[in-house]
Chains A and B, each alone.
Chain A
Amino acid sequence: MEREIPLNRLPVGKKANVSRLRLGGTERRRMLDLGIVGGTEIEPLYKSPTGNPAAYLIRGAVIALRTDTSSAILMKA
C-alpha cells in the first residue's frame, strides 16, 4: 500500500509525483487540463502570508492552488 500525502502538506521545496486526485466533476477536469495527472511532478514553491493559497511548480508553470483543492491532490510520499 503506497503512502500518500495531500499536496498541501508537502513541505516547500520537496518534489513529489501525483498519485491520484480526490476530486470530481469540473474541478477534476480543470486540474487534469492544467496537467495534474497521475505521475506528474509537483514542487511546492512558496505559501501566501496566510498559508492559503500556495504556489506550485507544475510542468514549468507556477500555479496557485487553494487548500481545498490541494488537499484533494494526493502525492506519492
Chain B
Amino acid sequence: MSAAGAPADSAVPVGHCVTLMVEKKSAEERVVALAGNPNVGKSTVFNGLTGLNQHTGNWPGKTVANAQGGYRYKGKDYVLVDIPGTYSLMANSEEEEIARDFICFGEPDVTVVVADATCLERNLNLVLQTMEISKQVVLCVNLLDEAKKKKIRVGLDVLSERLGIPVVGTCARSGKGLKNLMEAVAESARQGAGTKPPPVVYDPSVERAVAALQPAVEAALCGKLNSRWVSLRLLDGETGILNTLENYLGFDILSRAGVAESLAAAKENLEKECDGGDSPRDRIVTGIVELCEKIAGEAVVCEGSGYSERDRKIDRILTSRATGIPIMILLLCGVFWLTVEGANYPSELIADGLFRLEDLLAALFTAAGAPLWLKGLLVDGGYRTLAWVVSVMLPPMAIFFPLFTLLEDLGYLPRVAFNMDDFFRRAHAHGKQSLTMCMGCMILQPVIFST
C-alpha cells in the first residue's frame, strides 16, 4: 500500500457494462496493458516483470483467463494487465474483442506489445493496430535468442525510427532486456498523451472518406477517444463496435449531430470509388499489411532463409502419409511406456515409506490416548487417502509431463495437431485437442476445462 492514502480502485469498463476492476494502489499508479500475438513469450515477460506479485482470474462475463500483477520501478508503482494473445484487434473472436476493448476503452497509460523476433512482419499487424488506438505504445521484441539461432537480425533502432515508438529487445526467458523495458514504459508513462502522426496512411479513397467523417465524429466524442480510429471503424462496417461504443460513451454516436449523415455520405463515396475493386474493409486491412511488409523489409535481415531446407525435410518426414502417423504413434507410445514402467519403482518406494509413516502415526495417536473417531478421521481417512494419491499419481505425472514438455520444446507437438486435425475436424473439433487428449491420459480435469 502506498503512503498516499487509501487505495483507489479504478473501475475500467469493458463492453456490455461489465467492469474489470484494475486494482490500483494509488492514483499515481500506472496501468500497463501487455498485448501481443499468441506464443510470443508474453507470459514470460509478464512473469519476469511481476514475479509472484500477480493474481489470475477471468475477464468478467467471459471464459478467457486474465492476469494482473504489479512491479515497482524507480519509486513508482505499475500494475500490469495481461491481455489475451491475438493476431489483430478487429474482433473476430472473444479474445480479440477483450483485447480491443481493454486497449481502447480501458484507457491503460501505456500499452506494451510483445512481438516475436522470428516472425516480426506478422506481429507488426497488431503493433500498428494498437498504435492507431493507444496513445502510448512500447514495442518489446522478444525471443531474440531464437532469432539469433535462425540467423535473423532485427534492427531495433530502424524499427523505432520507422514506427516512431520506443522499441526494446528482450530475451524474457533469461531475463535480458526487462530493465530496459521497464525504463521505456516509465518514460512513455511520463510523457503521457501527445499528438503523433497517424501510424498507417491508407489508400487515398479511404483517407478521403476518413477526412469527410472525422470532424463530425471528433465533435461527438468530445476528446474521449481517438476520432480517426473511430471513423475508420465506422467506415469499415464492423457492427460489434457500435454497441461497445455506446456502452462506453453512454450515448449512441450515430444519434449525434451530423455523424449519421457524414457517415452515410462518406460510405457512399467510398463504395463508389471502390466499385469493382477491393471493398473498403479489404483496403483498410491491406493498407496495414503492406506497411508491415515495408517496415519488416527495412528492419529485419534474414541471413539464411527463415524456413530452412533442413526444416522442410524434417517436416515432410513427420507429416507424410507413409511415415507421419507411424512416427507419431511410436513416439507417443514410447512416452507412455516410459511413464508406466518408470513410475512403478518410485511408486512402490513412496508407498512403502508413507504407509510405514501411517503406522507410526496410528501408534502415536493410540499412545496419546486420542479418541477412536479422531484417529479414524485423520489417520485412516485423511492421511491414508493422501498417501495413496501421492504414491500412485505423483511418479507418473513427474515422468509424463517433463517428457511431454520435451516434445513441446522440440517443436514436435504442432506436427501432431497437424496430423490429427482431419480426424478431429470430422468430429467438429480441432487438431490441437489431440494434445489435450494426450495429456488427458494422465489427468482429465485440465483437459475438460480446456476443450
Q: A46-B319, A49-B319 are in contact. Are A33 and B88 (CB under 8 A)?
A: yes
On whether A35 and B122 interact (CB within 8 A), knowing A29-B285, A52-B422, A66-B421, the answer reads yes
Q: How many residues of A contact B (CB 8 A)?
A: 28
Query: How many Å lie between the Cα of A35 and that of B290 in the bound state?
Result: 9
Residue in B319, B320, B321 whose Cβ sees the most chain A Cβ within 10 Å: B319
- Chain B: interface secondary structure? helix
Per-residue B-contact encoding for A39-77, CB less than 8 Å = 1, 0 else: 010000111111111010101111010100000000000
Residues of B within 8 A of A37 (CB): 282, 285-286, 289-290
Pick the contact of A52 from B320, B321, B425 — CB < 8 Å?
A: B425
Question: How distant is the Cα of A5 from the Cα of B381 in the complex, in angstroms?
Answer: 69
Closest beta carbon of chain B to A25's beta carbon, Å? 9
The closest CB in chain A to the CB of B152 belongs to A60
The 8 Å CB contact of B320, one of A49, A60, A66, is A49
Task: Count chain B CB atoms within 10 A of each CB in A35, A40, A53, A55 and give the residue with the most.
Answer: A35
Q: Is the CB of B289 within 8 A of A32?
A: yes
The digit string for B287-331, where 1 denotes a CB below 8 A from any CB of A, is: 001101100000000100011000010011001110011000000
For B119, list chain A residues within 8 Å (CB).
59-61
Q: Are A46 and B425 neighbours in the complex by a CB distance under 8 Å?
A: no
Identity of the chain B residue whose Cβ is nearest the Cβ of A43 in the assembled complex: B307
Cα distance, A48 to B286, chains bound together (Å): 30
Give the chain B neighbours of A29 by CB distance below 8 A.
88, 90, 92, 281, 285
Minimum Cβ distance to chain B for residue A60 (Å): 5
Bitwise interface map of B from 386 to 422 toward A, beta carbon under 8 Å scored 1, else 0: 0000000000000000000000000000000011011
CB-based contact B121/A48 at 8 Å: no
B418 near A64 (CB under 8 angstroms)?
Answer: yes
Q: Is B125 an interface residue (CB 8 A)?
A: yes
Contact of B422 among A38, A45, A50 (CB under 8 A): A50
Selected contact of A62 from candidates B88, B282, B285, B307, CB within 8 Å: B307
Residues of chain A within 8 A of B302, CB atoms compared? 60
The chain B residue sitting closest to A53, CB to CB, is: B421
**Min CB distance, B228 to chain A, in Å?**
20
Bound CA span A45–B307, Å: 10
Within 8 A of A (CB), among B107-137: 119, 121-122, 125
* Given known A-B contacts A59-B121, A60-B121, A33 and B321 have beta carbons under 8 A apart: no
User: Which residues does chain B contribute within 8 Å of A50, judged by CB atoms?
Assistant: 321, 422-423
**Chain A CB within 8 A of B87 CB:** yes
**Are the CB atoms of B87 and A33 closer together than 8 Å?**
yes
Q: Which residues of A contact B207 (CB under 8 A)?
A: none
Q: Which of A8-47 contact B (CB under 8 A)?
A: 26, 28-30, 32-35, 37-38, 40, 45-47
**Known A49-B419, A64-B418: A34·B87 in contact at CB below 8 Å:** yes
Known: A53-B418, A55-B315, A59-B293. 10 other contacts (CB 8 A): A32-B285, A32-B289, A33-B88, A35-B289, A46-B315, A46-B320, A52-B425, A53-B422, A64-B418, A64-B421
Can you list 6 A-B pairs, Cβ within 8 angstroms, ordered by A?
A35-B121, A45-B315, A49-B419, A57-B307, A60-B306, A61-B119
The 6 closest A-B pairs by CB, nearest first: A32-B285, A33-B88, A50-B422, A37-B286, A49-B321, A60-B306
